[in-house]
Structure 1
Amino acid sequence: MHALLVEDDDRMARALGTALARRGHTVRRAARAADALRHVREAEFVLLDLGLPDLDGLELLRRLRTVCDAPLIVVTARCEERDVVQGLRAGADDYVVKPFRMAELMARIDSVRRRSGGRTAAEPARYAGGPVRSGDVEVDPAGRTVTVAGVEVRLTRREFDVLAFLAARPGEVHSREEILDRIWGDAFLAASRSLDVHVAGIRAKTGRSGLVRTVRGFGYQLGSAAGCPDRGSGA
């Protein structure tokens, strides 16, 4: 498996590169955002530090996601809740704060890769079944597209995966643990905010707060048609 390691700290890059090589991965290191953008299409997964000298890491993450759908884990010293939420919303599959245990990071890499099925940007996950409508929102699992009132809305890969999973069985309520297991493949994330952040992203980007319905204390369900459109403060 070919990894792109985006890390400007030489000591950290050596440690991560050695750990990845011992697990059979080939590693290309990029110390600058420009190098990461140049080589990301070759990557089968990405480790991204946010503290880069030539571009803010979150901005780089957004740019990477326009050209690359490979599994991506942020590995950074930024530990504020705001940073974690922004990283996940920008398209990270996981977020690991330095300092970390190397064994845990390797396990998280395995989990993200397992869930993604080892696909690259040219091989996005495909879902069976035709388009599903909820109000004026249409989810097309095969084409991996979402439209609202006929206009396509761009979701991150994880956001789409969550929405497509709910849309596949729109009449069912899915527990948080089930969704995390199916989409992230990692029960460890059950205590994290990853799922909540991605659900919030779906609602915000579609402008339909009822598209994903929260079942308090349990999980989520695709919202009913009547609950989808936002009507503003007068609703």
Structure 2
Amino acid sequence: MNRRILIVDDEREIAELIEIYLKNEGYETEIAGDGEQALELFEQKPFDLVVLDIMMPRMDGLEVCRRLRRDQSVPILMVSAKAEDMDKIMGLMTGADDYMIKPFNPLELLARVRSLIRRSYQFSPPLNAGSKREELTLGALAIDKASHTASVNGKPLNLTSTEFGILYLLASHSGRVFSAEEIFQHVWKEKYFESNNTVMVHISKLRDKLEQELGDKMIITVWGVGYKIEA
């Protein structure tokens, strides 16, 4: 099955360069020149991943991300010339799964795309021998690895693939504390860089979604160590 990727960027040359690299990898692609066109395309057909620029006319990438996240869990790779930490945090808090700074190496972008697709559609976090379970139940929370879904009292949780990966990792090792570095390496399967705040932002979003439905705190921060879920 060829994955379909939507490239959203008002700089046509950049969009076409990305398209060339993705097509060479066997992906199907379409290009949208602004946010409004991107949403129109999404109404017409499904996509498996979005490469989304932030600074665009008519509707910027942050607003596109917000609207997609209302009812879509599609992986979103945000790209931007904005390189400050707060810009990255804003992009991730809006709902992006990953964030790249322009100018970027196209080969790195390909690696990020492959990683996102693997996490989203072929998810299999490493577990200790004997602890692998397809379905988990922690109180009102139910997690189904096979369908990549989670629910509270039967009500589905709208999680991104990254949020699901973190939730499954912590829930399948209830009581164990994972450092940000360990979470990153397990879920992203990439090398962790010091001062990387990506995990913190995704934990914050996941915690908010769980607390909204459960009414209490499930993900516990162990200061100076990491994060855990208590059954």
Q: What is the TM-score with the length of structure 2 in the denominator? A: 0.78
**Gap change, CA 1:140 and 1:171, over 3 Å in 2:** same
1:82-138: CA deviations, max 9, x gaps?
22112112221110011112221111111111222369xxxxxxx8224213xxxx3
- Report the more deviating stretch, 15-24 or 199-208: 199-208
**Gap change, CA 1:52 and 1:27, over 3 Å in 2:** same
SS in 2 for 1:171: coil
- Identity %, equivalent residues: 33
Measured in 1, the distance between the counterparts of 2:171 and 2:110 equals 32
Question: 1:102 — aligned with what?
Answer: 106
Question: 1:34 — aligned with what?
Answer: 36
C-alpha displacement of 1:179: 1.9
Task: Check the 8 A contact 2:120/2:162 in 1, yes or no.
Answer: no
Question: 1:14 — aligned with what?
Answer: 16
Amino acid in structure 2 at the alignment position of 1:164? Y
SS in 1 for 2:26: coil
SS in 2 for 1:66: coil
Question: 1:128 — aligned with what?
Answer: 134
SS in 1 for 2:57: coil
Measured in 1, the distance between the counterparts of 2:24 and 2:228 equals 42
Which of these residues, 114, 136, 147, is aligned with residue 118 of structure 2?
114
Question: 2:176 — aligned with what?
Answer: 172
Report the RMSD for the aligned CA atoms in angstroms: 2.7
**Gap change, CA 1:223 and 1:17, over 3 Å in 2:** same
Task: Check the 8 A contact 1:91/1:157 in 2, yes or no.
Answer: no
Gaps of 5+ in 1: 120-126, 225-235
C-alpha displacement of 1:191: 5.1
SS in 2 for 1:131: strand
C-alpha displacement of 1:151: 8.3
SS in 2 for 1:34: helix
Measured in 1, the distance between the counterparts of 2:122 and 2:82 equals 28
Q: What is the TM-score with the length of structure 1 in the denominator? A: 0.77
Aligned residues: 211
Does residue 62 (structure 1) correspond to residue 66 (structure 2)? The answer is yes
**Gap change, CA 1:204 and 1:69, over 3 Å in 2:** closer
Runs of 4+ in structure 1 displaced over 6 angstroms?
Answer: 150-153
**Gap change, CA 1:80 and 1:10, over 3 Å in 2:** same
C-alpha displacement of 1:217: 4.3
Which of these residues, 76, 81, 90, is aligned with residue 72 of structure 1?
76
